[in-house]
Amino acid sequence: MDITTAEQAALKVTVVIGSNREGRFAPVVADWFLARAREHHGLDIEVLDLADTELPTALSRDPSPAVTAQLAFITPKLADADAFVVITPEYNHSFPASLKNLIDWHFVQWQAKPVGFVSYGGISGGLRAVEQLRQVFAELHAVTVRDTVSFPHVHGLFDEDGEHREPSQADAAVKKMLDQVAWWAQALRDAKGARPYAG
């Protein structure tokens, strides 16, 4: 890979904040992660917070003007991305309905792009939600990276200022996951530039 070319064309990563629950802990996790992601070389970070969206659960091939306006805000953030990072809690051994709804309103926007995960929750740290998301994204022809950033018993890990109390392992996990996301994003962008994906 030509380093100069790579530096000229930053990889666009859309970070999806998957919870829209009232009183959610997502902003703490998201702010902490985004501060680190924005320091990662070669990434252009875009944020899509599902608390700021209102997509109906009833899918439609002919959406109303209100839904069309929502999609005009949301869909370009997905379509323009080279990669995604999904921040998800675990609700009842799974991921939030708001996140599934976003996924289901789109299809080609996910194709042939890598997805990384930041998860949080109780004893499992949200990993059960991530394992289910891997199956969903596989159906959409996306590539999920192996390594995740996971926060078990999340409320005890961050102080009142939103800083991780013992960040060394979490910082290393962020770097490893983003390195994998960036590798796949560059490889898939190059491949699609040479030949359209056969989805």
Asked, for residue 57, whether it belongs to a domain, the answer is yes
Report the DSSP beta bridge partners of residue 88.
Answer: 119
pLDDT tens profile 14-38 = 999 999 999 999 999 999 999 999 9
Domain count, the chain: 1
- Rounded to two decimals, the pTM is 0.94
Percentage of the chain modeled with pLDDT above 70: 96
Q: Concatenated DSSP letters for 165-181? A: SS-HHHHHHHHHHHHHH
Domain harbouring 146, CATH code: 3.40.50.360
Q: Determine the Cα–Cα distance for residues 157 and 159; give it in Å rounded to an integer.
A: 7
pLDDT tens profile 132-157 = 999 999 999 999 999 999 999 999 99
Asked, for residue 199, whether it belongs to a domain, the answer is no
With contact defined as beta carbons under 8 Å apart, do 145 and 177 qualify?
Answer: yes
Instruction: Count CB neighbours of 140 within 10 A.
Output: 18
Angle at 47 between CA 43 and CA 48, to 5 degrees: 140
Instruction: Count CB neighbours of 164 within 10 A.
Output: 17
Any idea what DSSP says for residue 73?
H
Nearest to 151 by CA among 179, 171, 176: 171
3 state SS of 86: strand
The phi-psi region of residue 152 (left if phi > 0; otherwise alpha if psi is between -120 and 50; otherwise beta) is: beta
Domain that includes residue 58, residue range: 3-194
